Structure 1
Amino acid sequence: MPTKSFFLAPLVVAIAAGTLLPSAASFAAPHHPAKAAHKKAAAEAPAAPSAPGQTAVAGGAPSLPAKAWLLMDFDSGQVLASANADEPLPPASLTKMMTSFLVEQALRSGKLKKDDLVTVSQNAWCRGSSTESCMYLPLNGQATVIDLLRGIIIQSGNDASKAIAEHMAGSEEGFAKLMNAEAQRLGMTHTHFVNATGLPDPEHKSSARDLAILARAIIKDSADYYPIYAEREFKYNGIKQGNRNALLYTDPTVDGLKTGHTEAAGYCLVTSSKRNGMRLITVILNTNSAQARADETRTLLGWGYSNFEKATPIQPNTVVGTAKVSFGKADTVAAGLGSPWSLTVPRGQQVQTAVQLNPALEAPVAKGAVVGKVVATSNGKPVGEAPLVAQADVERAGFMLRAWQHVAKLFGK
């Protein structure tokens, strides 16, 4: 699939390259010589060694100068290509995806309201140091939950993250327990959170695969709030800050998710893009500059859309098999897909399917009950599966008919 290039203006090109920063007035924050020196050193950092990837595509995956990276199909959760996908690494502010996700789930459940006021403690207050991102909440002031959510996602505010953590769990340590419990529920097996911000801690780790799982959960389960991840700027307390995800300014198919950076973590980026009905998630961990994380993400997305396509192995409402039913008024029931099923497969590859039906079904069987599954393979490798459900009800037979069926089974009839 050809990838289109979008040129908005030289201004946008400068933003994408990481060479144009907002003015001091727009940030309303003091100049920090140490921060400027740190940025200069980071810009001059040597390129990270390239990490060759693994993929089912003939010819292999790209080799990207990042310690770990991953490309995931959103619909299925299938990893399409990766390098060092399960290596626990410092996630920096990518951590805040879990912080924002917990806030979003609390809003969905009613535990939090958008207009609830959150007090900014001494511990949460950001002093505007050169080493962390701030929303610049006033000490002992209050902010609404929805403003804090924007401050976490768009401005990457450590103060916003700490304030909401204390509000929800009493302390940041208590909130970290909620984060780890949710990570376990989602299947993030190489992740352990110590804080709500991603500030460095030897025990604070996550992996490329786990962060993609989290990104997928945010897109699926936080639909009401996911558009915030695409917002380019947020103004609070008279201070306007821009989203650090450069791709939001240059690629209209990109609508999230989060950037991160510390000295230990390098430059990191989790991105989601949707083109022609296919959504891909990318994770780049520990590359050497803001420009590199954007460039590597562009490369990975372009490669993904060029090398993969959607396939529909079986059309909805198609009967694909007949399952035998014991002790029912009918001996069999038709089996088919319960919902539309599509896969993302290497472009041009054929997909084969194999039906597996439950051999021990007994009536009653309700319409829509799972009676088996269909497994898809490509080039001899499994690429996905979907449940098969009963297409009709099968009532349980009366006593005499069941007795006869028992006898028939004994004699193998």
Structure 2
Amino acid sequence: MSAKMTALTVLSAALLAPALLVAPAHAAPTPPADGKGGPAKAPQAPAPPVSMSTVGGSLLGQPGTQVNLLPGAPALPTNLTGRSWLVADAESGEVLAAHNAHWRLPPASTMKMLFADTVLPGLPKEQVHKVTEQDMDGVGPGSSLVGVKEDLEYSVHDLWLGVFLRSGNDAVHVLSAMNGGIDKTVKDMQAHAEELQALDTHVVSPDGYDAPEQVSSAYDLTLIARSGLQKQDFREYCGTANAKFPGRQEAGKPREYFEIQNTNRLMTGAGGLSPYKGIAGVKNGNTTMAGSTFTGAAQQGSKKLLVTVMNPDAGGANSVYEETAALFDWGFAAAGKVKPVGELVPPKSADTSSHGSPAQSHENNPSAAGKGSGGVGTALAVAGGVLAVLAGGAFVVNRRWPRGRRSRGDRPRRHQYQRSSTGQNLA
């Protein structure tokens, strides 16, 4: 090879080297090899267990979609990607349709519904607590926070607004400290879940922060929400769109407050969504392990529905809300046109001897409802994008239990935990 030819070859190699080191701007990444010389297959979404709990009815223990459409009933939405979901009548407890209802999945901050339903009745809302450094121990990195500060005083009412509106793990830890500590609170929550017959639920952290073995199900979350909505204070907090939260407090100066907004996008219309007509709560959540989760309550006319959606496969921050809204639309249109596929069971201690007996409320001080920093004291209805406050206690769930007590042989069995290779508890 001539000297001139050699120089051209070296120059070409030098010019090509940077291009070889930089991937094309729009090139798709090459999947890793499958060990047989070919590209690896895309990871498949996990499948639900073949056998799940049958609490609430045998159909609810089957994988896949369960619905019994009568003549004239609308078809289910076609764009549902949630790994698990459920639509139920909030008052009768009839399950209108469900998909993998008892699949035990990480719940994210929807676990805070159980936390509130367990702890709220024991802490008077006017009680004031000065936050200590120890109260804030264990708040996980990357947690959602409302902005609770050490050495400042907060009322219980303030803290619950922080829990429901901003999903504040800092507020959860302070309330847990007031309840006797994290360990006691977790035990209390587990005991309450078992009393409600939410037997898919295993509590590890009171705030829903990702933790191995912490699971619930669409069925259980709906059952828990239904219990919580019978408490006036619970309805107030989960139905509040905006509130003032206490900020800095300096000697000789009025305390500062800042605005907080509910992270429930079906209520506020944030993220480009339209507020859902008749929405009244309840709680959303999102973590790495859980994906997006949401349990909502809504009323149109005299019909009150509960919908839970867990971990939609569709991308986007709004997918869990869009699928919930689609199931609400279907549920209101399908009311009276479907045969229930199951029921939300009563608590173990409930009197099921007759229909129509509303459960007793567990309010600490009903006369104080609505007082404090910004609570509306009521569920919210949404019409034309404008939040309208209904009369106090408008969204009230009066549970109607199935007639007659279950015989011993019919009582749902508690699940044994099986440790999988990933350390997650599975039914």
TM over 0.5: yes
Deviation per residue, 1:7-32 (Å, 9 max, x gap) = xxxxxxxxxxxxxxxxxxxxxxxxxx
The reply on whether 1:217 has 2:233 as its aligned counterpart is: no
Distance in structure 2 (CA, Å) of the matches to 1:161 and 1:340? 35
Aligned to 1:285, what secondary structure does the other structure show? strand
Partner of 1:294: 321
Residue 261 (structure 2) pairs with residue 242 (structure 1): yes
Q: Which amino acid aligns with 2:168?
A: G
Partner of residue 282, structure 2: 257
How far did 1:84 drift? 1.1
In 2: Cα distance, 1:84 partner to 1:173 partner: 31
Q: CA deviation at 1:211?
A: 0.3
Matched, 1:271 2:296: yes
Aligned to 1:92: 108
Contact persistence 1:208–1:285 (CA under 8 A): yes
| 1:98-136 deviation line (CA, Å, top 9, x unaligned) | 122123322xxxxx2222122323254399997211121
User: Over the residues paired in the alignment, what is the CA RMSD in angstroms?
Assistant: 3.2
Q: Is the 8 A contact 1:86 1:207 kept in 2?
A: yes
Q: Contact conserved, 2:110 with 2:284, CA < 8 A, in 1?
A: yes
1:152 and 2:171 equivalent? no
Deviation at 1:203, TM superposition (A): 1.5
Residues matched between the structures, number: 270
Question: How much does 1:224 deviate?
Answer: 4.1
Q: Percent identity?
A: 28
1:75 matches 2:97: no
- Could you list the runs of 5+ residues in structure 1 that have no partner in the other structure? 1-45, 107-111, 312-336, 342-383, 388-413
1:309 corresponds to = 336
TM-score w.r.t. the length of structure 2 is 0.58
Structure 2: how far apart are the matches of 1:176 and 1:234?
28
Deviation, structure 1 residue 233: 1.7
Structure 2 residue 69 is the aligned partner of structure 1 residue 57: yes
How do 1:8-407 residues align onto structure 2 when only pairs under 5 Å count? 53-58=65-70, 61-63=76-78, 64-106=80-122, 112-125=123-136, 131-169=142-180, 171-220=181-230, 222-236=231-245, 237=247, 238-249=257-268, 250-287=275-312, 288-309=315-336, 385-386=402-403
Whole-Å separation in 1 of the counterparts to 2:125 and 2:295: 26
Amino acid aligned to 1:57? L
Q: Is the 8 A contact 1:48 1:67 kept in 2?
A: no
Query: Relative to 1, partners in 2 of residues 1:53 and 1:198: Cα closer, same or farther, differing over 3 Å?
Result: same
Are the counterparts in 1 of residues 69 and 337 from structure 2 also a CA contact under 8 Å? Answer: no
Aligned to 2:361: none
Gaps of 5+ in 2: 1-42, 48-62, 248-256, 269-274, 339-352, 358-400, 405-427
Query: Who is 1:391 aligned against?
Result: none
Q: Any idea what the Cα deviations from partners look like across 1:52-102, whole Å, max 9, x if unmatched?
A: 521111576445111111111111212111111111111111011112212
SS in 2 for 1:105: helix
Distance 1:48 1:275 in 2: 35
Matched residue SS, 2:82:
coil
Corresponding residue SS for 1:154:
helix
Could you say which structure has the greater relative contact order, defined with CA pairs below 8 angstroms and 6 or more residues apart? 2
Please tell me whether the aligned partners of residues 126 and 136 of structure 1 are also in contact (alpha carbons under 8 angstroms).
Answer: no
Aligned mates of 1:338, 1:267 — CA distance in 2: 38
Residue 373 of structure 2: aligned partner: none
Write the distance in 1 (CA, Å) between the matches of 2:89 and 2:111. Answer: 21
CA 1:150–1:206 in structure 2 vs 1: closer, same or farther (change >3 Å)? same
- 2 CA distance for matches of 1:61 and 1:124? 46
